[in-house]
Amino acid sequence: MVTDEARLLKELIRKEERLLENSVRNDPAKVGALVDARGVFVSASGARGALEPGKPFDSLQGVSYIDSNTVELLDLSEDCRLLVYVAATVSKNTRAKSRCSSVWKRDSGDWKVIFHQETTILD
């Protein structure tokens, strides 16, 4: 039997994965469906910025994916969850990893990311 929390974890991973796809990142409507208007992000370099629902994200170089063995979902409140995971990006002959965390907030029944942070993992 699949629990509500397991279904939510699957849904939020799927949404995170969509944000790693350039076809989604380059489409303002698709970004708007996933991002809260009050959202912020902190990049691997430490730069802070706004998550803007009507504005496309920068394209990613290579292919990025979530390491499913690293995913954790933490309950912050009834309508707020913290998703932590390791993402890998493969481009040409290089592979980079980042430890990521995203805060997802439910608003009017829909889950949107309101905070995202990445920290580069040095191998």
- What is the Cα–Cα distance from 110 to 97, expressed in whole angstroms? 29
| pLDDT given at position 64 | 87
Q: How many domains does the chain have?
A: 1
Domain with 91, as residue range(s), is 4-121
pLDDT at residue 83 is higher than 90: yes
- What is the Cα–Cα distance from 80 to 57, expressed in whole angstroms? 23
Measured CA to CA in angstroms, residue 123 lies from 11, 87, 94, 118 at distances of 30, 14, 12, 16
Q: What is the CATH number of the domain that holds 101?
A: 3.10.450.50
What is the token pair recorded at 41? 């992000």
Residue with more model confidence, 1 or 56: 1
pLDDT at residue 93 is higher than 90: no
Tens of pLDDT along 3-46?
999 999 999 999 999 998 988 888 889 988 999 988 898 888 88
Look at the block and give the residue holding tokens 């040095």: 122
Chain-wide mean pLDDT for the chain?
A: 90
What is the token pair recorded at 64? 């990025």
